Structures are given as C-alpha cells and as structure tokens.
Amino acid sequence: MIKIKPLTKEQILISLDRLTRFKNPETKYLRVFKDIITCNLINPKYKKSQLEKMDYLELKNLAEQIINESLKNLKLSLNEDFTINQRLYDYEKSTFNLTKETEILLKNKINYMACMDLIDENQPVNMQWLKNLAVSNDILKDREKYGLKYPVEKLVISEGITEEILLPEFAKVCNYDFDKKGVYMVSAGGKNQVVKLFYQLSEIVKIPIFILLDKDALSNYKEIEPKLRAIDKVHVLKCGEFEDLLPLNLIKRTLANVLKNISMIELEFVNQNLPMVEILEEIFRHRGMHEFKKSEFAHSVKENMFDENDISLEIKEIINEISKIKSCC
C-alpha cells in the first residue's frame, strides 16, 4: 500500500494544464508524472535516478494512483467514464508521432471527469478545451463556436514576438480566427532558432507547419528546405522584418497614443526609408524613453488597430496562405 501526500486543487490544475499544452507528449507526460511521484509519493520513496530507469507502465500507474487518490481526498466523485482519456489519446495520436512507450503514458485512467468541477472560465484555453471534451458531440464545431484553439491542426513558426502577437489579430480581422481554426503560433526567437525548432517539430508532428521568415533569412530557408514535407510551407518576407509590413498610418496612430503628443520631427522619422525597427528605436531615443521593446509596441499596435485598412497586402497574403494549408485531421 503506497502512502501519498495528496495534491491540492491548485496542484491538480497545474498538472492538467501541463498535460494538455501543445508539447511533445512523451516529454510533458514524463515530466508531470515524475514531478508528481517525486513530490507526492511518501512511501515508497524514489530518487530521481530511479525514476529515470523506471519503465513507463510503472510511472504511469504510480502517477495515476496519486492523482486519483488526491481527487478522492478533495471529495470529488470518481467514476468509470474515461471518455476524456480516450479523446486526449486520439488527439495526441492524430497530431504527434507516438512511440509504443509514449502510448502507455497516454493510456492512463486518470479520472479527468472528476476534475471538471475544478475548471472554471479563468483557466487557460487548453483547460477549457479539456472541459469541453467531457460533453462535446462535435469537437471541431465546438472549437469553431468557442474559439478553443484545440485540437491544433496547423502550426505557425515565426522569428519574433511581433508576429506572434499581431498575426493572429490581423487574421481575426480578415475573418480567419486562429483559435477557431486550430492554428497554433509560436515565435522561435530568431532565424537560427526557427531552423532548430522546425527540425525538432517536423520529426514529431503530423500536422502542417507554416514557417515565416524575415527577408534576410534566405540562408536559413535553404537549411529548412531539405526537411520540408509536402504539407509544410515557408513564406520569406518581401521586405525586411514583420514591423516593415505594418502600414504607416497604423504606426503613426500607435505612436500618437503611446507618446501622447507626437511631434513633427518624430513624424518625419516615420517617413524615412529605413527599417521600421530602427526608426522606432530612434524615436524612443529622441523622447528619452526606455529602450524600444518589440513586444510592448506590438501590444500597442494591437490596441490601435481598427479594420482591414490597417493590414498590408503582404500580411493578408500570409494569412491567406495559412488558411489554404490543408490540415491532416
């Protein structure tokens, strides 16, 4: 008979969140299960080195027992309805290339149904999707109706945070809502990291990957090209960075709201034929403000965007390319 320290409600929610994020299933399940065993199994006690050598079935059984005992401790009603478990398994199997060992982790009997009362509207979208799995008759229709993002059907990789913040917003204005269409977007943090991330993901995901690169990343595109699958697509920007695609009127409106009283000198900066990031950095220096930060400015742009007139032709072209990629699901 094992002895455990029950997980709290907060710890259960954290575990569920981590198990349902868009990540390599083997990596996330092993991490969550090992953390639970390390922190909440009192007897027998295992060292990390022992867990590394433990087979997946034993890991799964221990973590499953700890979670379910914790749910009982919270006075939640356990039952034999494992609909959510099967739907999670089906989703991960349709999205990722799973090994037989990873399938063992996914074929668990964690009592997800008992957890549903713990999930409220303040939880992240993957948790809302998990709750919807308990009752849904049509998962894809519910994703469209509620903007649940999951099941993920397409993956977009960009170089920077500006694209990650703004492209989904521009797409929404163009009547292509990423969350409703199952498009998951991630910024890699640079063109070299895009290559690295694509190499990793193309080995484990079955779904299409759309890669967005700045104009100066042609050599990186050449690195990516040999590993492109028939379902993948690359778009290299026609000019500079994503910030260079933002219409000048949108930039000026955003600056007027950020700076409150933009001067004629600063407006002249905007009209220069220079990379937009350099122009914005110069304006911020001229103001004696803090260092220009792409993420902060992108959020300001998002707040000052009105309609399709604030979206350039190339951004519309990118959104159209993403929309036309056929999903594998």
94-116 pLDDT, tens digit each: 999 999 999 999 999 999 999 99
Contact 299, 254 (CB under 8 A): no
Separation of CA 270 from chain center: 33
Residue range 24-52: mean pLDDT, rounded: 96
Question: 149-242+312-324 adopts what CATH topology?
Answer: Dna Topoisomerase Vi A Subunit; Chain: A, domain 2 (3.40.1360)
Residue range 38-60: mean pLDDT, rounded: 96
Q: Residue 58: what pLDDT?
A: 97
Lowest-confidence pick of 235-239, 258-262, 304-308: 258-262
Question: Residue 225 belongs to what H/E stretch?
Answer: none
Separation of alpha carbons 118 and 58, rounded Å: 27
Among residues of the chain, what percentage have pLDDT more than 90? 85
- Structure pTM? 0.93
Number of C-alpha atoms within 13 angstroms, CB side, residue 328? 19
Contact 328, 208 (CB under 8 A): yes
Q: Residue 292: what pLDDT?
A: 87
Contact 208, 154 (CB under 8 A): yes
Among residues of the chain, what percentage have pLDDT more than 70? 96
The DSSP output letter for 96 is B
* pLDDT of 266 strictly over 70: no
The DSSP output letter for 275 is -
* pLDDT of 243 strictly over 90: yes
Q: Residue 291: what pLDDT?
A: 82
- Could you report the per-residue pLDDT of 137-165, keeping only the tens digit for each? 999 999 999 999 999 999 999 999 999 99
Lowest-confidence pick of 65-79, 215-229, 240-254, 267-281: 267-281
Q: Residue 247: what pLDDT?
A: 94
Query: Nearest CA to 248 among 181, 310, 169, 188?
Result: 310
Q: Tokens in use for 159?
A: 């170089």
Q: Residue 328: what pLDDT?
A: 63
Query: Nearest CA to 165 among 299, 22, 293?
Result: 299
Residue range 114-141: mean pLDDT, rounded: 95
List the chain domain ranges: 3-141, 149-242+312-324, 244-307
